[in-house]
Amino acid sequence: MSFNRKIQTIQKRSDSLLCVGLDTDAAKLPLHLRSKKNGILEFNKRIIESTKDLVCAYKINFAFYEVLGKEGWTIIEKTLALIPSAVLTIADAKRGDIGNTSSQYARAIFNEMGFDSVTVSPYMGIDSVQPFLEQKDKGVFLLALTSNKGAFDFQYRKSGKKRLFEEVVTTAQKWTSHNNLGFVVGATKSTDIRSVRKLAPDAPFLVPGIGAQGGSVEEVVKYGCTSNGSGILINASRSILYASSEKDFAGAARSEALKLKNEINFFRHTFF
């Protein structure tokens, strides 16, 4: 089964487009976990247990674990093992380097660690991305239009008649025939999601920027979904992870995740 087909299957089974970002910040853990040796892992475990029936994916942001050194890599490994096989896993690592280096990154993330997909930067071009696309059951979310303020520095600049992010989307789709390429499209750029969707009508979109960053769920669903009302993975991290700083954090996270899932599905049923 191709990666993109796998996403469709998971989203249909879970009736969810929600992705929870496990961007776990040690400084934001509930107080009762901050002093525990395995506090971050315990936090991740409780979040997964309380939300696994509500999501289609979990995204692990490597930066929040790499900062912990060797321990951080162990936590990634153990957290990954807690995620049900029926839920998609995304390594938010933003890799991308010369071909032989990317080959090693791909081997590490897919074969050694066992992630289903990875975020990749397109700046260095085809040879930096193709190693991640060689396994059709493993996926790539290529950075196209990001939600940060700095996106305007380069992504909106004209490349011929197209803006740079549009050129990235158009060009990158020629790099694989395995149906395993998607794009990162920020929720705060919701009016431009239409442009990306027109260029890539069937590609999955990983959409950060909902929740703490203020992206519109309604606009993301309306302009980002494929024709059947799926094809986007709407990521929320802080708004779910830190819904409570008390011992009830897992229950609060579940409530916030359920609220967001229901909001997403409301607009899906409205528009599709």
Q: Retrieve residue 142's tokens.
A: 């290529």
Residue 191 confidence (pLDDT): 81
Characterize 213-252 residue by residue with b for buried, 16 or more Cβ atoms within 10 angstroms of its Cβ, and e for exposed.
bebbbebbbbbbbbeebbbbbbbbbebbbbbeeeeebbeb
Residue 148 confidence (pLDDT): 87
List 95's β-bridge partners, or say none. Answer: 120
Q: Retrieve residue 144's tokens.
A: 């196209």
**Strand, coil or helix: 39:** helix
Identity of the residue numbered 88: L
**What range defines the domain where residue 151 resides?**
3-271
Residue 213 confidence (pLDDT): 67
Residue 46 confidence (pLDDT): 98
How does strand 232-236 pair with strand 205-207?
A: parallel
Residue 30 confidence (pLDDT): 96
Residue 79 confidence (pLDDT): 98
Q: Which residue has the tokens 């990954």?
A: 80
> Cα–chain-centroid distance for residue 17?
11
Q: Which residue has the tokens 């309380």?
A: 50
How does strand 232-236 pair with strand 162-163?
A: unpaired
Q: Which of 94, 136, 162, 222 is catalytic?
A: 94
Cα–Cα distances (Å) from 236 to 69, 89, 160, in that order, read 25, 14, 35
Instruction: Report the domain count for the chain.
Output: 1
Q: What is the CATH number of the domain that holds 19?
A: 3.20.20.70
Active site residue 37: no
Residue 118 confidence (pLDDT): 98
> Hey, CA dihedral for 159, 162, 166, 171, is it positive or negative?
negative
Spans of the chain, pLDDT less than 50: none
Helix H or strand E encompassing 205: strand 205-207
